[in-house]
Structure 1
């Protein structure tokens, strides 16, 4: 679709575990010259080790250090629900800060269903995990919808603006331009789709064989130019063969979908760079008719979606299935 003039549109919008102990019960020895026979020691049954409670998430660094893997971290956060759901949710947010945390299935599980329903920052936590998983938004939205999570695509919002007005949309987009007119900065967003492109690269050992052969001899005969005589010479043949181990790899390539939007920020953000992909969570505000673009045979100009940006995250390079 053709790009709309930026100044016109942006100006219109500006307005550990405890150890188990083994006990040995011994009878007292009699104080006599000849010691009395002693019964065999009786071993008490060892008690199972009791796991220490999870570290408090108030100290985020200590919590993350104690549970260094995403699975252990999410499990420790879930166990905190027995004592405090607020602490448990804070712990899950600490876990999700790590780029290695891609446990979207665990976040969407039954244990966190109530928190996803009532926590105002739940949608942004999901967007962060989607970015950690590579930012394949279309595929992740299918997973979210299978769990009835109310986050939708930009395409759906454009198709039915009245239905999706005020709802969350999730998109992968680049910032084409950023302007500040008045109090609210405005971004020109170009939606990107993620595609996987296959290629091959060399791995392991490379083997090569070079061979060379030479053939020589004489040829006798008569020519009109030289008369009787013999011609001698040789022919050299060279061959080369090689063997290389190859593996198939896949690279994620982002391409424009043809959809664009205007995004509004509460304040200017210097970390939002142009021509760079982001996973963006936003609230859909509807479609705005652009001014100054009306043709004589049309009642109104083109319409473009308007979004209020809630959060954004840099996607990792490789997508997680």
Structure 2
């Protein structure tokens, strides 16, 4: 039996193709975000992370501090050498301390630098230099060093227990009393200085002053039982008034602690001049009986003896 086969009309074909096209577009649009998310996940988060992963440039010690005049930035850049070369990292850190106003003691005492500070012979001198740049508040900064178990101690501790601290580093703020030669080696008399602050008022803005002068004179006459008379005279008054605004200003002032020491030098140093404060790094050699003691008297006055390693002029401003 023959059956008629009817083909769909052109209108129905167009509708079918339109429906298929719409379904295809929906499928593409639904899969596209997944591909984009995967691409973004593989992409680095920022250009800064790429820069941090790059190795540091080859070290040029002579120009390193000039490249990073900011001491905080200089220390961070020096720290980047630690994973590749600890020698380069230490050389860069020394360049920062010597070439910038480096007061970053807390950054220097970080765990990253701790192995270098404990193992390198010149680490104590670098720390003394930083303490001086911070104003020479030796007692306060020694407390920070002791929190990290760094073996630099105070003069008072060495005097109290000379056997314990003999041969160890001592950090002291002191003035030079005088210099003399002993056994062909110069020695200096050191007077330890404590650091404190003194408050004073300083004017701010314009100070106003007002002066006035008044004179009064007159005569007085009258009759008394002793007879008539007349009294004359004058009265003068000067007054000065000043007014203005002031603020409290604090100055760092050093004062004697009462402790003294003998400092030994390898040779005479003209820059270690009397009357000035210095932050001095030295090795404690023990106690010695002074020349004023009676001969044979072991209980006479004793004074600590130090071998001076390095010294630095403290900055007038103190960093807390």
- For Structure 1 versus Structure 2, the TM-score category normalised by the shorter chain is 0.7 to 0.9
Provide the residue aligned with 1:274 in structure 2. 274
Checking the alignment, whether the CA contact within 8 Å between 2:169 and 2:281 is kept in structure 1 is: yes
Q: Which runs of 5+ in 2 are unaligned?
A: 1-39
Q: Deviations over 1:279-303 (max 9, x none)?
A: 001111111223562179x544322
- In structure 1, what is the Cα distance between the partners aligned to 2:285 and 2:212? 72
Task: Give 1:240 deviation, angstroms.
Answer: 6.3
Does the 8 Å CA contact 1:295/1:301 hold for their aligned counterparts?
A: no
Q: Tell me, yes or no, if structure 1 residue 143 matches structure 2 residue 151.
A: no
C-alpha displacement of 1:220? 12
In the other structure, the counterpart of 1:152 is: 153
Give 2:319's aligned residue: 320
Tell me the residue number matched to 1:178. 179
Query: Does 1:163 pair with 2:164?
Result: yes
Q: Is the 8 A contact 2:61 2:92 kept in 1?
A: no
Is the 1:56–1:63 Cα contact (8 Å) retained in structure 2? no
- Once the 2 structures are TM-superposed, how far is the Cα of residue 125 of structure 1 from its aligned partner? 0.6
Alpha-carbon spacing, 1:260–1:65, altered in 2? closer, same or farther (3 Å): same
CA positional deviation for 1:268: 2.3
Q: Show the 5 A alignment for 1:172-321.
A: 172-207=173-208, 225=228, 242-291=242-291, 293-294=293-294, 298-321=297-320
CA contact (8 A) 1:294 1:300 kept: no
Which is further off, 304-313 or 94-103?
A: 94-103
Equivalent-residue separation in structure 1 for 2:283 and 2:191 (angstroms) = 16
For the aligned residues, what is the CA RMSD?
Answer: 3.4
Q: Could you tell me whether the CA contact under 8 Å between 1:77 and 1:89 is conserved in 2?
A: yes
* C-alpha contact (below 8 Å) 2:135/2:314 kept by paired residues: yes
Task: For 2:239 and 2:188, locate their aligned partners in 1 and report how far apart those are by CA, in whole Å.
Answer: 61
Query: Where does residue 37 of structure 1 map in the other structure?
Result: none
Q: Structure 1 residue runs of 4+, over 3 Å off?
A: 44-47, 49-59, 205-215, 218-227, 235-243
Q: Which residue of the partner structure matches residue 111 of structure 1?
A: 112
1:102, distance to aligned residue in structure 2 (A): 0.9
What CA distance in whole angstroms lies between the structure 2 residues aligned with 1:246 and 1:288? 51
Aligned to 1:93: 94
In the alignment, the residues of structure 1 paired with residue 58 and residue 84 of structure 2 have an alpha-carbon distance, to the nearest angstrom, of 11
Between the aligned partners of 2:220 and 2:277, the Cα distance in structure 1 is 76
TM-score by length of 2: 0.73
Once the two structures are superposed, residues 261-287 of structure 1 have per-residue CA deviations (whole angstroms, 9 ceiling, x without a partner) of 111122222221122111001111111
Q: Deviations over 1:80-134 (max 9, x none)?
A: 2122111111111111124621111111111211111111111111100100011
2:60 is matched with 58
Q: CA deviation at 1:78?
A: 1.0
What is the DSSP-based 3-state SS (H/G/I as helix, E as strand, rest coil) of the residue aligned with 1:87? helix
**What's the secondary structure of 1:77's corresponding residue?**
helix
Q: Write the mapping of 1:31-70 to structure 2, written as runs, cut at 5 A.
A: 48=47, 51=51, 56-60=58-62, 62-70=63-71
1:59 shift after superposition: 3.4
CA separation of 1:99 and 1:244: change in aligned 2, threshold 3 A = farther
SS of match in other structure, 2:179: strand
Partners of 1:289 and 1:237 in 2: how far apart?
A: 67
Residues 57 and 94 of structure 1: CA distance in aligned 2, closer, same or farther (over 3 Å): farther
Q: Which runs of 5+ in 1 are unaligned?
A: 1-43, 228-234
Contact 2:289 2:298 in 1 (8 A): no
- For residues 177 and 209 of structure 1, do their structure 2 counterparts lie closer, same or farther at Cα, with a shift above 3 Å needed? closer
Query: Radius of gyration: which is bigger?
Result: 2
